[in-house]
Structures are given as structure tokens and as C-alpha cells.
Amino acid sequence: MSVQQVLQTIKEKNIEWVDFRFVDLSGRGHHISLPAAEVDEETFVNGVAFDGSSIPGFRGIEESDMVMMPDTESAYIDPFTAHPTLIIMCNIYTPDGERYERDPRSIAQKAEEYLQKTGIGTAAFFAPESEFFIFDDVRYESSMNTSFYTVDSEEASWNTARKEEGGNLGFKVRTKGGYVPVAPVDTQQDIRSEMCRLLMEAGLRIERHHHEVATAGQGEINFRFDTLTKTADNLMKYKYIVHNTARQYGKVATFMPKPLVGDNGSGMHVHQSIFNGDTPLFWEKGAYANLSEIALNYIGGILYHAPALIALTNPSTNSFKRLVPGYEAPVNLVFSKGNRSAAVRIPVAAVTPKGCRIEFRTPDSTANPYLAFAAMLLAGLDGIQKKIDPRALGYGPLDRNIYELSDAEKREIRSVPGSLDEALDALLADSEFLTESGVFTKDFIDNYVELKRGEAKAVSMRVHPHEYSLYFDC
């Protein structure tokens, strides 16, 4: 969509407000709204000013002036506002017109530009499977003398004895028993369908939706793949619409990886491939899983750099509550065809040459998609450029259920870091694959690590409610 097309849309759709948005380091969206009458061609040349010092990890107060530069290709109409509003994603620039090196969206675009500079391919395609929970009630507090959380759902396995609910007490989702049941067990068909309707109106191509494995309202909606930055834009749109549709239904949606103990968490499996023009580069008929050497080297890069990658793809302390064995969480750094216990899976059912892809199953949706997708692409490209062979490094293929291996066999398999601090240590030790291309800078890595260290320290210093169960009577 060109600037003129955006201005025409504003006129034809009687748009009253234009909402300019950007994304911070943690992946949260921020926005400033301008009256539509104040938006003209100059707006797309000069941008929209904002205070960067108020955004965690951006700028100091002595250099706070920053500029949002709108990307007209990202425009869509907000389905929730009472006053007709057009949403436009922006890149962040300094006042002197320089691309801001800590802007996640600009980093994603630089990763795409770097791919083309390498001559390996012309486009990288991504498709995230972002899972979420829809709860009926969420309450939490963390203060000097109080620390608790409580969530509830009409579907939850713990509600079979709830008196006030009526006659549906026999149709609850069992723990780990929620994968694609029909109604009345699945109570969220309509809300997911409404989410899909709004997503399609906003421009996403929806492929399907379903209930996921966990109790208490876990779901998933799959949308069509696209190029790296566009997919990250689409994921931000997806989360915005999921959150606000749930709110309209009097419920609350969360992409938190592990909101419940004892059941599956929510991941974000990321499918990815590289094309050169119209030619898919990951396909080689007759090879293992029909994978080309380029695809194998890409996998090698992902698995070799995985400990550092995870600081960007699983960047919360809660991420590591999900990354434990036994809950379909891919903690083992191996690859396999069709095997969901491996960190990298190669889908093999009904796959065409253009559909040939790899699936990195470790990430979750606390990741900033612009940073996570860019980092995965750079790790894969490093593998291609250095011809990293995952087979030679002991990364598989492993076509057995890893959870059923003997302890001795499991010890031979590398695992993901066990905490956010360990992942951040790995990122500091192995960041050259991100910085040597100029896509990420050392300043960005150091600043990001400092921000995330602060989150990890804040959690580690808090008294945990379970500690009272363990130690109060000592």
C-alpha cells in the first residue's frame, strides 16, 4: 500500500484516527494516535516524534527524542476501536535520520537485507505456531508481604466439583487431555472462530484453529507464512487481536509459556525456509526427509548456536518452566523428521518442494518476533556459510522418542540452557554470528543482556509461595 493508497483509505473508510505503532525490546507494542485530518504526505516523510527514554532499554533522558517512520505496507483497520482507526507499524529513527540500532523491526529488515547480500537466497519465509491460554479469571500480586497468583477456567480439570456452574461438570478438559476435543468439552470454538474472522479481516490468511493439549483453555490459530518482517508484523497483529477478542468476551488471553504447573505450556514452533526467486532451497528429493545440504547446514547453524539463540527465542524466566522434559517441550538439541521430541523437526506429511521447511520447536511467544526471527535466520545462514553438518556434530537425525531413551543415551544429547541467566551467558559467549553481519550490534547485545539480567534478578529475589510449603516449619 502506497502513501496515496493509505490516504485514500482514510478518506473512503471515514477513518478518524491513525494509530502509529512500534515494538520495544521485549516485544510489547506501543502507540501514538493522530487525528486523521492531521495525517498527510508530510507525515510519512517526517515521521511521528516520541520520547524514547520512557521505553525500557531504548534511550537515556539526555537523548530521548526519537522518530517513528511509518511503513505503509503494514496498515490495517483496528477492529476494536469505537472511532474508526487505521493502524500502521513504524520503524524507529534518530532525529538526524539514522536507523536506530536498537529498533527490533529495523533489525529484522537488516537481516532480510543481509540474506540477499550473501547471495544464498532472495527471501526467508517464517510461519510461527503461537499457542495461548484463554482464562475466565486471572489475579496475582507480588509485594513485600504477599505473593500469589490464581487463574480459573470453566474448562479446567480442577472444576469438576464447582457447584455454581450447573450441569456441564462432566465435560472438563483433563490434564494433558485437551488436544482437539469436540464440544461440549471444547467450550472455545466460537471465540477462536471470532478471532479468526477478525484476523482475516485484518489481512491474515488463516489456515486453521483448534484446542491444544493443556486443560483450562489452551488454543492455537495457524496463519499463513510470509517473509521475515511481514510475519513478525502479522504475529504482533495476531497477539493484539487474540488479546482484545478475549477481552470482548469477558475473558483474558495470555501467551505466557507456562501459566500452569503440571500441564503442557504454550510454545511458538517456528517453520522456516529460504527461496532463491521461485526456487525452494531446502528441497532435495530422495535425501533424508527430502532435505538439501543447504537445509542441513541451516539446521546445523540453528542447533550449534541454540544456547545463545534461546536468549532471544525464549527470553523470560517463565520460558524455562516450559523447557523441561515430559511436556512436549523440545529441550533436546537434535533434529528429526516428524519427531516432536526434537528441537528441530522436519515436517514430512503432504510436503511439496515449495513446502519443504524446518521447524524449530523450542521458542515461545514471550520472544520479540523481529529479534527472534532475525536471530534464527542469521544462525541458519552461519551454518550454510560454514557448512556446519549437524550429523557430524552429533545432532542427529534421531528418529526415536527421546523421552524413552536410557539415561546413558540421554546424556549424549545436548540440552537447552536451564535458566534465562544461562542463556544470556551463552549469548555473550556466542554473539559473533549475530554481529559480524552488522544486523545486531555489540551495543544491542550488551544492552539486551543487561535488561534481561534485571528481569532474572527481580524474579530470583522474590519469595516464592511454594517456599512457605517447603521451609516455613524448619
Catalytic residue among 78, 112, 212, 364: 212
pLDDT tens digits for 68-100?
999 999 999 999 999 999 999 999 999 889 999
Task: State whether residue 369 is helix, strand or coil.
Answer: helix
CA torsion angle for 258, 212, 268, 277 (degrees, to 10)?
180
Catalytic residue among 361, 364, 382, 421: 361
Cell of 33: 494516535
As a residue count, the chain comes to 474
Catalytic residue among 205, 224, 340, 391: 340
Comparing 72-76, 191-195, 340-344, which segment has the lowest mean pLDDT? 340-344
Catalytic residue among 78, 112, 136, 220: 220
pLDDT tens digits for 409-433?
777 888 899 999 999 999 999 999 9
Q: Is the pTM of this model over 0.85?
A: yes
Q: Is 220 a catalytic residue?
A: yes
pLDDT tens digits for 431-450?
999 999 999 999 999 999 99
Q: Residue 169 pLDDT more than 80? A: no
Q: Residue 331's pLDDT band (boundaries 50, 70, 90)?
A: confident
Q: Is 340 a catalytic residue?
A: yes
Mean pLDDT across the chain, nearest whole number? 93
Catalytic residue among 78, 112, 136, 359: 359
Q: What integer is the mean pLDDT of 12-32?
A: 96
The whole-angstrom separation of Cα 262 and Cα 320 is 14
Q: Residue 350 has what pLDDT?
A: 64
The whole-angstrom separation of Cα 269 and Cα 294 is 21
Comparing 110-124, 134-148, 330-344, which segment has the lowest mean pLDDT? 330-344
Catalytic residue among 269, 271, 305, 345: 269
Upstream peptide bond of 390 is cis (omega within 30 degrees of 0): no
| Phi/psi of residue 73, nearest 5 degrees | -65, -15
Catalytic residue among 40, 51, 63, 137: 51
Q: Is 28 a catalytic residue?
A: no
Q: Is 269 a catalytic residue?
A: yes
Q: Residue 161 has what pLDDT?
A: 84
Catalytic residue among 19, 78, 101, 129: 129
Q: Is 345 a catalytic residue?
A: no
Q: What is the 3-state secondary structure (H, E, C) of 24-81?
A: CCCCCEEEEEEEHHHCCCCHHHHCEEEEHHHCCCCCCHHHCEEEEEECHHHCEECCCC
Q: Residue 62 pLDDT more than 60? A: no
Q: Residue 21 has what pLDDT?
A: 97
Q: Residue 246's pLDDT band (boundaries 50, 70, 90)?
A: very high
Query: Do 441 and 435 meet the contact criterion of CB atoms below 8 Å apart?
Result: yes
Catalytic residue among 19, 103, 112, 131: 131
pLDDT tens digits for 360-390?
999 999 999 999 999 999 999 999 999 999 9
Q: Residue 85 has what pLDDT?
A: 98
Residue 276, C-beta contacts closer than 8 angstroms, at least 6 positions apart: 120, 121, 122
pLDDT tens digits for 205-219?
999 999 999 999 999
Q: Residue 232 has what pLDDT?
A: 98
Q: Please list the residues that pair with 458 across neighbouring strands.
A: none
